[in-house]
Amino acid sequence: MTDRSAPIIALDNVGKSYGIITALQGVSLSVRGGEVTCVLGDNGAGKSTLISIIAGLIRHDQGTYTVDGGPVRFNSPREALDRGIAAVYQTLALVPLLPVWRNFFLGSEILKGSGPLRRLDVRAMWEKTDAELHRMGIDLPDLDQPVGTLSGGQRQVVAIARAIHFGARVLILDEPTAALGVMQSGIVLRYIVAAAREQGIGVIFITHNPHHAYMVGDHFVVLARGEVELDAPRAELTLENLMFHMAGGAGLTTLQHELHLVPVPEAAAGSIRENAGQPRNGR
């Protein structure tokens, strides 16, 4: 039985630089089975660099990245997948015109026969897709329909279910609710919770939406300018506090302080009063 108290992956003071540009610095993060770790931040905060390191797209050049307690330096996403670390990006890597079952096994097709007679085992893939989706609580009316005809939320959960079926122990979800409405976001959020609680998957939920994060998260990390602005478990955090850190944290406090302390110069104030009553453009 898996010890969920031990982290599956852990980053300790990880950083990444491109020449004189520091994209990530001093980031520490642990992901445990059965937990949802939410990573939040504005554009340019370092979220993409972080998930690229975890998923094996790029290599860190500072700090330590461990999987099951052993240090790793992945050279490709394939190496990360072999260790059970899978990423589901916003593009989903689905082919819209292919049926659901075909997308489920895309790149990992089941074959039958041998030699020149080797071909796709359509029946096996259809039945396996149907069984796996139902096991994970996903009910689709027709597995033969093109995946592009599914709703955004349904496409997301198919991609997530596929990653879990092929052995994901840590699932990185890159902004899965960014382009979805309330109802479709609900489908995805419920499935994220199910993946963690029922399947025992360690989930890294990348988002800029603190409301969605707070609904499902067990632990929260907020990035700002490539560094950790906040690192806290749910028990020590309110939604309001999470939103405060997302909005800028200490920097926001400083800005508010400055805005309240800096008065409008009297000359400028007089000019504003004079101009307020004047018509624009000579009208």
The predicted-structure confidence for 115-168, as pLDDT tens digits, reads as follows 888 899 999 999 999 998 888 778 888 999 999 999 888 888 899 989 998 989
* pLDDT tens per residue, range 202-253: 999 999 899 999 999 999 999 989 999 999 999 999 999 998 888 766 566 6
* pLDDT tens per residue, range 3-62: 567 899 999 999 999 999 999 999 999 999 999 999 998 888 899 999 999 999 999 999
**How far is Cα 206 from Cα 273, in angstroms, rounded to an integer?**
47
For the four alpha carbons of 45, 51, 54 and 56, in that order, the dihedral sign comes to negative
Q: What is the pLDDT of residue 253?
A: 62
Domains and CATH numbers, the chain: 9-98+160-277 (3.40.50.300)
CB 38 within 8 A of CB 53: no
Q: What is the pLDDT of residue 279?
A: 52
Q: What is the residue-averaged pLDDT of the chain?
A: 86
**How far is Cα 211 from Cα 82, in angstroms, rounded to an integer?**
33
Q: What is the pLDDT of residue 180?
A: 85
The band of 282, judged by pLDDT with boundaries at 50, 70 and 90, is very low
Q: What is the pLDDT of residue 269?
A: 46
Q: Is the pLDDT of residue 263 over 60?
A: no
**How far is Cα 283 from Cα 281, in angstroms, rounded to an integer?**
6
Pick from 152, 157, 153: nearest CA to 129: 157
Q: What is the pLDDT of residue 182?
A: 87
Q: Is the pLDDT of residue 84 over 90?
A: yes
Q: What is the pLDDT of residue 278?
A: 52
Q: Is the pLDDT of residue 190 over 90?
A: no
Full-model pTM: 0.83
Q: What is the pLDDT of residue 280?
A: 47
Q: Residue 36 forms beta bridges with which residues?
A: 203
The band of 198, judged by pLDDT with boundaries at 50, 70 and 90, is confident
Give the side-chain half-sphere CA count within 13 A for 206.
22
- Which residues are CB-contacts of 186 (< 8 A; sequence separation ≥ 6)? 153
The band of 1, judged by pLDDT with boundaries at 50, 70 and 90, is very low
**How far is Cα 244 from Cα 224, in angstroms, rounded to an integer?**
12
